[in-house]
A and B are shown apart, each in its own frame.
Chain A
Amino acid sequence: MKFGIFYELSVPRPWTRESERTVYMNALEQVRLADELGFDQVWCVEHHFLEEYSHSSAPELFLTACAMQTQHIRVGHGIVVCVPQFNHPIRIAERAAVLDILSGGRLEFGTGRSATWTELAGFQADPDDTKKTWDEIVRCLPKMWMQERFSYRGEAFSMPSRAILPKPYQKPHPPMWVAVTSPGTELDAADRGMGSLGLTFGGFAEQDKKIAEYRRRIKSCDPIGGFVNEQVNTVNFLYCHEDSETGIKTGQRLAGTFNYLASQLVAAREAYPTRSYPSLGLLPQLRQESQSPGEGGRIPEGLCIGDPERIIDVVRKWEAVGADRINFLLNAAETIPQQQVLDSLRLFAKEVMPRFQRDAQPREEAAAVAN
């Protein structure tokens, strides 16, 4: 089992010049520490207009800053929105290649299509079309990276023959992933030979089933890229403290804050009836089965919060359901003071990570595999 960290870059109101910067700087400090401690991936979302919940609208810049300030940790797009109104495919390919070069070949390339009406309508993207455009774009990207010249005539975009430059540092290209929130997307990942970047907080039973089906199905995939990236990441909250009660309470506050922020958004499916979004995605996971406004939502099972021993037990369960890596959300709207976040990372690295290092590859070998 490996461990990464995951950023929404949520900024609580009131927004000031310094408050936005503080969130970014705190995140970078956490990333530097994570790199030293042996976390092997840092992921950052792409979101737009999501007030307080996520102010990460230019993740390529944040990830570049991460790469420039670290040595080993891989930098992951969690995700790039492959909807032409958000990002033209040529620019996606170009920016990714540059980030891969600047990071020395440490890019992990996650893809997705946005799941909120807030964002889709902001860019005037049609919810009915996003699954199609995602599929079209992810099939083109590897070719853009691998072929000297690329031309294309399609529905999401077309272009005459051009050399798309530069090419990525990793050959044939960075590992590709797809965000798995809607049911069935893990099958899309498997069919295309892509990594499954779990971005929901589903319980063990649900994830067990999804991961098993992914593993089965990827064996007969038709990969869209130059290689198959069979990996399963799952996302979780992390708060590690010597005192279990403190760890659980603080962790629950973290999860609850995240839940509250996320729920103010308007999911695509909530606003617009479409086959393209068969579920509400992340939000029902967070709202769980709570029917009462006063209950505040049940905290999902399997959270990595508490003292090290408790977290070890939870991680073992995630390992048992087949996850390769857990990516941790460390904070939400700065509800946990920065020093406590850093202490939590240190304690986790000291007490929990070594218990799983029997499966860990040395850094150099991991990088070689990715290349």
Chain B
Amino acid sequence: MVLIGTRDIAPLLEGAPALDSLDAEPWSTPGVEILQATWEIDDRDREALLPRALHPTIPPVGIFTVARYPETPVGPFLLAQVRVSCRAAALPRGFLLRAFVNTREAADALGRHWGYACATGDVRLARYHDRIVGSVTDDDGREVLRVALVDPEPISGGDVQYVANMNLATLGGEPLLVQVDPEYTFHRAERGRPELASFDRAAWRAEGVEPVYPIVASFTTVDTGFPAIRFVLDPGKLAMEGTRRLR
């Protein structure tokens, strides 16, 4: 039957955030700018990218996101993520490999409340005449990501699809996958060709994520947020069996 993730999550758990609880107050974050670029990734060992709870997609897709949050309870920050497309049972999701954020306050809050495995670094999002570029430099000064949308053209926000996160975290020492599923109100959207100038797989815990075929890049301005956690999954069980509904 369908493919199932085979990833040993023990190495990921070493850097996984510890949640305070599953009852974080939701955040509303207006005016967020999101650069998202996707590639088909090498499918030779796609099951090994995901824990057992999740299924690889056909084809597997690498999702690279750099977003600017101008207004949050912890102040403005930029958040970059690398995720792998997946299914939690029948539902489209993105398994978070790692995130970088440019403030310690945001890294702590996102980790403790929503399970984002955040490292700090210099995260930037800049618009040029023919491209929008997102970049991440780690605290050692190494550029670990440079991704761009080239030749942006306007599209309807309604055409853009964002998948919810599956973040690997712990609660009371027990591993779990946290579903983070914000809603989006689009104000502006553009589409263009994706370009990946640098990608340090090790920095993103993305061994095996080899972008091989560009799909698309989009840039949007949205009102969104970090919602109350509704579902958590046991990473060692199929989603159909191991999902717990919280609210």
With a cutoff of 8 Å between Cβ atoms, the chain B residues found around residue A49 in the complex are 58
CB of B219 to closest CB in A, whole Å: 11
Closest to A276 in B: B159
A272-B215, A292-B245, A294-B244 known; A121+B55 contact, CB < 8 A: no
A264-B3, A272-B216 known; A293+B179 contact, CB < 8 A: yes
With a cutoff of 8 Å between Cβ atoms, the chain B residues found around residue A51 in the complex are 58
A interface with B by C-beta (< 8 Å): 12-13, 49-52, 117-118, 121, 259-266, 269-275, 278, 286-287, 290-297, 333
A12-B1, A121-B40 known; A273+B85 contact, CB < 8 A: no
A121-B40, A260-B90, A265-B57 known; A293+B231 contact, CB < 8 A: yes
Q: Which of B1, B58, B155, B179 contacts A13 (CB 8 A)?
A: B1
Closest to A275 in B: B159
Name B27-68 residues within 8 Å CB distance of A: 38, 40, 55-59, 61
Give 8 A-B contacts (CB < 8 Å), ordered by A residue. A262-B90, A264-B55, A264-B56, A264-B57, A265-B58, A278-B159, A293-B231, A295-B89
A118-B59, A264-B55, A273-B216 known; A52+B89 contact, CB < 8 A: no
CB of A124 to closest CB in B, whole Å: 10
A259-B90, A269-B161 known; A296+B213 contact, CB < 8 A: no
A-B contact count (CB 8 A): 110
CB of B124 to closest CB in A, whole Å: 24
CB of A57 to closest CB in B, whole Å: 14
With a cutoff of 8 Å between Cβ atoms, the chain B residues found around residue A296 in the complex are 89-90, 240
Q: How far apart are the CA atoms of A287 and B89 in the complex, in Å?
A: 10
Name B200-216 residues within 8 Å CB distance of A: 213, 215-216
Q: What are the 3 A-B residue pairs with the smallest beta carbon separation, nearest first?
A: A294-B243, A293-B88, A263-B90
Q: Which of A271, A286, A294, A295 contacts B242 (CB 8 A)?
A: A294
With a cutoff of 8 Å between Cβ atoms, the chain A residues found around residue B215 in the complex are 117, 121, 271-272
Q: How far apart are the CA atoms of A262 and B85 in the complex, in Å?
A: 15
B interface with A by C-beta (< 8 Å): 1-3, 38, 40, 55-59, 61, 85, 87-93, 155-156, 159-161, 163, 179, 181, 189, 191, 213, 215-216, 218, 230-231, 233, 239-245
CB of A314 to closest CB in B, whole Å: 23
A261-B2, A270-B161, A273-B218 known; A293+B91 contact, CB < 8 A: yes
* Sample of 13 further A-B pairs with CB below 8 A, known A270-B163, A293-B88, A294-B231: A260-B2, A263-B89, A264-B58, A265-B57, A266-B58, A271-B216, A273-B155, A292-B231, A293-B89, A293-B240, A294-B89, A294-B241, A294-B244
Q: How far apart are the CA atoms of A269 and B163 in the complex, in Å?
A: 12
Q: How far apart are the CA atoms of A81 and B127 in the complex, in Å?
A: 39
With a cutoff of 8 Å between Cβ atoms, the chain B residues found around residue A269 in the complex are 159, 161
Q: How far apart are the CA atoms of A22 and B9 in the complex, in Å?
A: 38
Q: How far apart are the CA atoms of A275 and B153 in the complex, in Å?
A: 13
With a cutoff of 8 Å between Cβ atoms, the chain A residues found around residue B160 in the complex are 273
CB of A23 to closest CB in B, whole Å: 14
- Inter-chain contact B230/A291, CB cutoff 8 Å: yes
With a cutoff of 8 Å between Cβ atoms, the chain B residues found around residue A262 in the complex are 90
A264-B3, A266-B61, A296-B89 known; A275+B231 contact, CB < 8 A: no
With a cutoff of 8 Å between Cβ atoms, the chain A residues found around residue B155 in the complex are 273-275
Q: How far apart are the CA atoms of A264 and B56 in the complex, in Å?
A: 7
Q: How far apart are the CA atoms of A319 and B154 in the complex, in Å?
A: 44
- Inter-chain contact B58/A260, CB cutoff 8 Å: no
- Inter-chain contact B3/A290, CB cutoff 8 Å: no
- Inter-chain contact B90/A290, CB cutoff 8 Å: yes
Q: Which of B61, B91, B181 contacts A271 (CB 8 A)?
A: B61
- Inter-chain contact B189/A292, CB cutoff 8 Å: no
With a cutoff of 8 Å between Cβ atoms, the chain A residues found around residue B161 in the complex are 269-270, 273
- Inter-chain contact B239/A294, CB cutoff 8 Å: yes
Q: Which of A260, A261, A265, A266 contacts B89 (CB 8 A)?
A: A260
CB of A46 to closest CB in B, whole Å: 17
CB of A331 to closest CB in B, whole Å: 14
Q: Which of B58, B87, B245 contacts A118 (CB 8 A)?
A: B58
Q: How far apart are the CA atoms of A51 and B87 in the complex, in Å?
A: 15
Q: How far apart are the CA atoms of A274 and B153 in the complex, in Å?
A: 12
Closest to A51 in B: B58
A263-B87, A296-B90 known; A273+B191 contact, CB < 8 A: yes
CB of A312 to closest CB in B, whole Å: 30
With a cutoff of 8 Å between Cβ atoms, the chain B residues found around residue A118 in the complex are 58-59
Q: Which of A52, A266, A275 contacts B156 (CB 8 A)?
A: A275
Q: Which of A117, A266, A275, A286 contacts B90 (CB 8 A)?
A: A286
Q: How far apart are the CA atoms of A295 and B241 in the complex, in Å?
A: 9
Q: How far apart are the CA atoms of A278 and B213 in the complex, in Å?
A: 24
CB of B167 to closest CB in A, whole Å: 14
Q: How far apart are the CA atoms of A307 and B179 in the complex, in Å?
A: 39
With a cutoff of 8 Å between Cβ atoms, the chain A residues found around residue B59 in the complex are 117-118, 121, 266
With a cutoff of 8 Å between Cβ atoms, the chain A residues found around residue B1 in the complex are 12-13, 52, 260, 333
CB of A53 to closest CB in B, whole Å: 8
CB of B24 to closest CB in A, whole Å: 18
**Max chain A CB contacts within 10 Å: which of B1, B89, B90, B233?**
B90
Q: How far apart are the CA atoms of A290 and B87 in the complex, in Å?
A: 13
CB of B37 to closest CB in A, whole Å: 12
CB of B55 to closest CB in A, whole Å: 6
Q: Which of A273, A274, A287 contacts B91 (CB 8 A)?
A: A287
- Inter-chain contact A297/B90, CB cutoff 8 Å: yes
- Inter-chain contact A266/B233, CB cutoff 8 Å: no
Q: How far apart are the CA atoms of A52 and B181 in the complex, in Å?
A: 29
Closest to A118 in B: B58
**Max chain B CB contacts within 10 Å: which of A49, A51, A262, A266?**
A266
